[in-house]
Structure 1
Amino acid sequence: MTTFVDRVELHVAAGNGGHGCASVHREKFKPLGGPDGGNGGRGGDVTLIVDQSVTTLLEYHHSPHRKATNGKPGEGGNRSGKDGTDLVLPVPDGTVVMDGAGNVLADLVGHGTSYIAAQGGRGGLGNAALASARRKAPGFALLGVPGDLQDIVLELKTVADVALVGYPSAGKSSLISVLSAAKPKIADYPFTTLVPNLGVVTAGETVYTIADVPGLIPGASQGKGLGLEFLRHVERCSVLVHVLDTATLESERDPISDLDTIEEELKQYGGLDRRPRMVVLNKIDVPDGKDLAEMVRPDLEARGYRVFEVSAVAHTGLRELSFALAELIAASRAAKPQEEATRIVIHPKAVDDSGFTVVQEEDGLFRVRGEKPERWVRQTDFSNDEAVGYLADRLNRLGVEQSLMKAGARSGDGVAIGPEDNAVVFDWEPTVMAGAEMLGRRGEDHRFEAPRPAAQRRRDNQAERDDATQEFNEFKPF
Structure 2
Amino acid sequence: MTTFVDRVELHVAAGNGGHGCASVHREKFKPLGGPDGGNGGRGGDVILVVDQDVTTLLDYHHSPHRKATNGKPGEGGNRSGKDGTDLVLPVPDGTVVLDKDGNVLADLVGQGTTYVAGQGGRGGLGNAALASARRKAPGFALLGEPGQAQDVVLELKTVADVALVGYPSAGKSSLISVLSAAKPKIADYPFTTLVPNLGVVNAGSTVYTIADVPGLIPGASQGRGLGLEFLRHVERCSVLVHVLDTATLESDRDPLTDLDVIEAELRAYGAGLEDRPRMIVLNKIDVPDGHDLAEMIKPDLQARGYQVFEVSAVSHAGLKELSYALAKVVADTRAAQPAQQSTRVVIRPQAVDDAGFTVVQEEDGLFRVRGEKPERWVRQTDFANDEAVGYLADRLNRLGVEDELVKVGAHAGDGVAIGSDDDAVVFDWEPSLAAGAEMLGRRGEDHRFDAPRAAVTRRRERQVERDESDEEFRGFDPFA
Letter in 2 for 1:47: I
Question: What is residue 43 of structure 1 aligned with on the other side?
Answer: 43
Question: What is residue 23 of structure 2 aligned with on the other side?
Answer: 23
1:397 aligns with 2:398: yes
Equivalent residue of 1:133, what SS? Answer: coil
Larger radius of gyration: 2
Aligned-residue offset at 1:442: 3.9
Contact in 2 for aligned 1:393/1:434 (Cα 8 Å): no
Aligned-residue offset at 1:29: 2.1
Using the alignment, how far apart are the partners of 2:239 and 2:27 within structure 1? Answer: 76
Letter in 2 for 1:95: T
Letter in 1 for 2:98: M
Counterparts in 2 of 1:66-465, with a 5 A limit? 66-270=66-270, 271-431=272-432, 439-442=441-444, 444=446, 445-446=449-450
Aligned-residue offset at 1:433: 8.2
Aligned-residue offset at 1:23: 0.1
Provide, for residues 242-266 of structure 1, a one-character-per-residue CA deviation record: whole Å limited to 9, x for no partner. Answer: 0000000001100000000000111
Unaligned residue ranges in structure 1 (runs of 5+): 451-478
Using the alignment, how far apart are the partners of 1:225 and 1:347 within structure 2? Answer: 49
Using the alignment, how far apart are the partners of 1:199 and 1:447 within structure 2? Answer: 79
Question: What is residue 62 of structure 2 aligned with on the other side?
Answer: 62
* Identity of matched residues, %: 83
Letter in 1 for 2:133: A
Provide, for residues 89-136 of structure 1, a one-character-per-residue CA deviation record: whole Å limited to 9, x for no partner. Answer: 000000000001111000001111110000000000000000000000
Provide, for residues 276-308 of structure 1, a one-character-per-residue CA deviation record: whole Å limited to 9, x for no partner. Answer: 010000000000000000111001000000000
Provide, for residues 20-64 of structure 1, a one-character-per-residue CA deviation record: whole Å limited to 9, x for no partner. Answer: 000000112222110000000000000000111110001000111
Using the alignment, how far apart are the partners of 1:383 and 1:153 within structure 2? Answer: 39
Using the alignment, how far apart are the partners of 1:74 and 1:417 within structure 2? Answer: 27
- TM-score normalized by structure 1? 0.92
Using the alignment, how far apart are the partners of 2:278 and 2:94 within structure 1? Answer: 22
Contact in 1 for aligned 2:39/2:124 (Cα 8 Å): yes
Contact in 1 for aligned 2:359/2:404 (Cα 8 Å): yes
Provide, for residues 191-236 of structure 1, a one-character-per-residue CA deviation record: whole Å limited to 9, x for no partner. Answer: 0000011111011100000002113000111111000000000000
Aligned-residue offset at 1:349: 1.1
Using the alignment, how far apart are the partners of 1:433 and 1:66 within structure 2? Answer: 42
Unaligned residue ranges in structure 2 (runs of 5+): 455-480
Contact in 1 for aligned 2:18/2:143 (Cα 8 Å): yes
Question: What is residue 473 of structure 1 aligned with on the other side?
Answer: none
Contact in 2 for aligned 1:284/1:311 (Cα 8 Å): yes
1:53 aligns with 2:53: yes
- TM-score normalized by structure 2? 0.92
Question: What is residue 7 of structure 2 aligned with on the other side?
Answer: 7
Contact in 2 for aligned 1:137/1:443 (Cα 8 Å): no
Letter in 2 for 1:266: L
Q: Which has the higher contact order (CA 8 A, sep 6+)?
A: 1
Contact in 2 for aligned 1:435/1:442 (Cα 8 Å): no
Give the direction of change, closer, same or farther, for the CA distance of 1:210–1:88 in structure 2 (3 Å limit): same
Contact in 2 for aligned 1:300/1:307 (Cα 8 Å): yes
Give the direction of change, closer, same or farther, for the CA distance of 1:449–1:179 in structure 2 (3 Å limit): farther
Contact in 1 for aligned 2:389/2:436 (Cα 8 Å): no
Letter in 2 for 1:424: V
Letter in 2 for 1:248: T
Contact in 2 for aligned 1:393/1:435 (Cα 8 Å): no
Contact in 1 for aligned 2:201/2:207 (Cα 8 Å): yes
Equivalent residue of 1:272, what SS? Answer: coil
Using the alignment, how far apart are the partners of 2:255 and 2:433 within structure 1? Answer: 85
Question: What is residue 464 of structure 1 aligned with on the other side?
Answer: none
Q: How many residues align?
A: 450
Aligned-residue offset at 1:436: 6.1
Contact in 2 for aligned 1:95/1:108 (Cα 8 Å): yes
Give the direction of change, closer, same or farther, for the CA distance of 1:378–1:268 in structure 2 (3 Å limit): same
Question: What is residue 474 of structure 1 aligned with on the other side?
Answer: none
Aligned-residue offset at 1:446: 1.2
Letter in 2 for 1:362: E
Letter in 2 for 1:50: V
Contact in 1 for aligned 2:96/2:104 (Cα 8 Å): yes
Contact in 1 for aligned 2:388/2:436 (Cα 8 Å): no
Question: What is residue 477 of structure 2 aligned with on the other side?
Answer: none
Using the alignment, how far apart are the partners of 1:361 and 1:193 within structure 2? Answer: 57
Aligned-residue offset at 1:187: 0.2
Aligned-residue offset at 1:449: 6.1
Contact in 1 for aligned 2:42/2:120 (Cα 8 Å): yes
Letter in 2 for 1:338: A
Equivalent residue of 1:273, what SS? Answer: coil
Equivalent residue of 2:274, what SS? Answer: helix
Using the alignment, how far apart are the partners of 2:371 and 2:355 within structure 1? Answer: 9
Contact in 2 for aligned 1:263/1:273 (Cα 8 Å): no
